[in-house]
């Protein structure tokens, strides 16, 4: 347990480093929101100067960072100059939408990858394995851009699914059940696109983890004892393979906020992706920093989760303590 606490502290320190890095990086941007604003003929120079002073944009870097950190602890992430809203609320809302999408997608991907990988490992070399590998190679080679575009085409041609967005325009008038159905229809395409993107890597990892276990001597010994195949798989083989898959799972969880950027942009899903892209184009620093911090936190949390799960499931790690 002490080890976990130490790791948590280590990661928090990492988070501080990340925030510093991101902030410095973005403050180095030569253009800023105010430059574009100055070019706007409708905004007077006096207003620009006033805005700059108000947001402390002219202060030296360390002071800006310190003020930013202090304000974060107060829950204030800054103000988005292009959306005219506090950054915290904006980013959090978009992050929730992204999480809705990615959680379903990652769950779907894992639910497909586990049996796929296990089946391939069990029938290694057979036609199931070879066909499966070919399909996975094709899926792996297809970028998420293409998946999203093709699914969008499907929606446009058949009309079975809405071509983007998170909700239809009449959603406020619908009953609760209809609202859920509407959401599901809108979720379908992005979830499938994202799941197809992550599936091949997961399946290949599951396959190689299972093969590693199935070849191990301890399993042959267990089989020699006469343990039935099913039980062999689930009580003996899978738990050991799970060990190496846990870090992969941690990484999956960690990437929940960053993995769906392109899919969201193409399918107009109102998540973090489109927000960050627009913020980069508009030089809206605080939004980019907040979004990056959120996803870094997610990544670190995913790693911590993996550490925790490994601690719970792998008795070897626990015995090192004593």
Partner 1 sequence: MSIRMSPHAKRNTLLVLFIALHIVVIFPGFFSTQGYAEQNRDLPFSPPTRLHFVRPDGHFSLRPFVYGWNEAALDTGIYEADRSQIYPLQFFVHGSPYTIVKGINASTHLFGVESPGRLYLFGTDDFGRDEFSRMLYGGRISILAGWIGAAIALFTGGIVGLISGYTGRWVDSVTMRMVELFMALPWLYLLFAVRAILPLRIETTDTFILLIGVVGIIGWARPARLVRSMVLSAKERNFVLAARAMGASNTYILRKHILPQVYALLLTMAAYLVPQFILAEVTLSFLGLGIGEPVPSWGTLLAELQKYNVLVNYWWMYAPGIALVALFLIYHWASSTIQQRVGVPLT
Partner 2 sequence: MQTKLQPIPAANPVILSVRNLSLHYFQKTVFERRIPVTALTNVSLDLQRGKTLALVGSSGCGKSSLARCLVLLERPSFGEIVYAAQNLLELKSKELKEVRRDIHLIFQDSASALNPGMTIEEVLLEPLEIHEPTLAKKDRFLRLVSACEQAALSSKWLTRRPSELSGGQRQRVAIARSLISRPKILILDEALSALDLSTQSQIANLLLDLQREHSLTYLFITHDMRLARMLAHDVVVMKGGRILDSFPSSLLTPDIHANPASIGSISTAKDTETIRLQEIPSVNE
Nearer to partner 1, 156 or 221 (CB): 156
Nearer to partner 1, 192 or 259 (CB): 259
258 binds, among partner 1, partner 2, none (CB under 5 to 8 A by kind): partner 1
Rounded least distance, CB 18 to partner 2, Å:
21
Rounded least distance, CB 314 to partner 2, Å:
14
Rounded least distance, CB 321 to partner 2, Å:
10
Binding residues for partner 1 (CB under 8 A): 11, 14-15, 17-18, 21-22, 25-26, 28-31, 130-131, 134, 137-138, 140-143, 145-146, 149, 152-153, 156-157, 163, 255, 257-258, 261-262, 265-266, 276-277, 280-281, 283, 288, 291-292, 295-296, 298-300
286, 72 Cβ separation under 8 angstroms:
no
320 binds, among partner 1, partner 2, none (CB under 5 to 8 A by kind): partner 2
Q: Which of 1, 3, 69, 182 binds partner 2 (CB under 8 A)?
A: 3
116/157 Cα distance (integer angstroms): 30
Residues 282-321 touching partner 2, rule: CB under 8 A, are 320
Nearer to partner 2, 79 or 311 (CB): 311
What is the number of other CB atoms lying within 10 angstroms of the CB of residue 302? 20
Q: Which has the closest alpha carbon to 40: 101, 82, 86?
A: 82
Residue 6 as a binder of partner 2 (CB under 8 A): the answer is: yes
Q: Which has the closest alpha carbon to 190: 96, 104, 292, 295?
A: 104
Contact partners, residue 267, CB within 8 Å, separation at least 6: 148, 151, 152, 163, 164, 189, 190, 193
Nearer to partner 2, 10 or 130 (CB): 10
232 binds, among partner 2, partner 1, none (CB under 5 to 8 A by kind): none
31 binds, among partner 1, partner 2, none (CB under 5 to 8 A by kind): partner 1
Nearer to partner 2, 39 or 320 (CB): 320
Tokens of 248: 């992969």
Buried b (16+ CB within 10 A) or exposed e, 201-231: bbbbbbbebbbebbeeeebeebeeeeeeeee
DSSP per residue, 116-153: HHHHHHHTTTSHHHHHHHHHHHHHHHS-HHHHHHHHHH
102/263 Cα distance (integer angstroms): 10
6 binds, among partner 1, partner 2, none (CB under 5 to 8 A by kind): partner 2
238/214 Cα distance (integer angstroms): 9
Nearer to partner 2, 6 or 181 (CB): 6
Residue 9 as a binder of partner 2 (CB under 8 A): the answer is: no
Query: 268 by DSSP, 3-state: which?
Result: coil
Nearer to partner 1, 20 or 221 (CB): 20
Question: 2 has which bridge partners?
Answer: none
Rounded least distance, CB 97 to partner 1, Å:
17
315 binds, among partner 2, partner 1, none (CB under 5 to 8 A by kind): none
Is the Cα torsion angle 152, 153, 156, 157 positive or negative in sign? negative
Query: 163 by DSSP, 3-state: which?
Result: coil
Tokens of 179: 């609202």
Residues at the site binding partner 2, with contacts judged by CB under 8 A: 3, 6, 320
């Amino acid at each position: 347990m002490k080890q976990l606490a130490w790791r948590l502290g280590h990661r928090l320190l990492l988070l501080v480093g990340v925030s510093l890095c991101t902030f410095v990086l973005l403050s180095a941007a030569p253009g800023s929101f105010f430059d574009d604003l100055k070019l706007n003929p409708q905004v007077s120079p006096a207003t620009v100067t006033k805005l700059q002073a108000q947001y402390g944009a002219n202060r030296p870097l360390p002071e800006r960072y310190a003020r930013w950190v202090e304000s974060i602890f107060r829950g204030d992430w800054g103000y988005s100059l292009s959306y005219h809203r506090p950054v915290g609320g904006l980013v959090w809302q978009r992050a929730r939408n992204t999480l809705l999408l990615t959680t379903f997608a990652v769950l779907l991907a894992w639910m497909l990858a586990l049996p796929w990988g296990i089946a391939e490992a069990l029938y290694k070399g057979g036609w199931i394995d070879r066909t499966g590998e070919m399909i996975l190679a094709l899926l792996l080679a297809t970028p998420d851009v293409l998946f999203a575009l093709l699914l969008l085409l499907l929606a446009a041609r058949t009309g079975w699914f809405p071509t983007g967005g998170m909700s239809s325009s009449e959603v406020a008038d619908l009953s609760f059940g209809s609202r859920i159905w509407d959401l599901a229809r809108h979720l379908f395409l992005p979830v499938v696109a994202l799941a197809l993107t992550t599936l091949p890597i997961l399946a290949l990892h599951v396959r190689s983890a299972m093969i590693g276990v199935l070849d191990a001597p301890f399993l042959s010994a267990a089989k020699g004892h006469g343990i039935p195949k099913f039980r062999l798989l689930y009580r003996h083989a899978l738990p050991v393979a799970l060990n190496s898959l846990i870090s992969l799972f941690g990484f999956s969880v960690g990437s929940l906020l960053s993995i769906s950027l392109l899919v969201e942009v193409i399918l107009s899903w109102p998540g973090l992706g489109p927000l960050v892209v627009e913020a980069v184009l508009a030089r809206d620093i605080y939004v980019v920093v907040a979004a990056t911090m959120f996803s870094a936190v997610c990544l670190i949390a995913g790693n911590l989760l993996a550490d925790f799960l490994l601690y719970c499931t792998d008795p070897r790690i626990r015995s090192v303590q004593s």
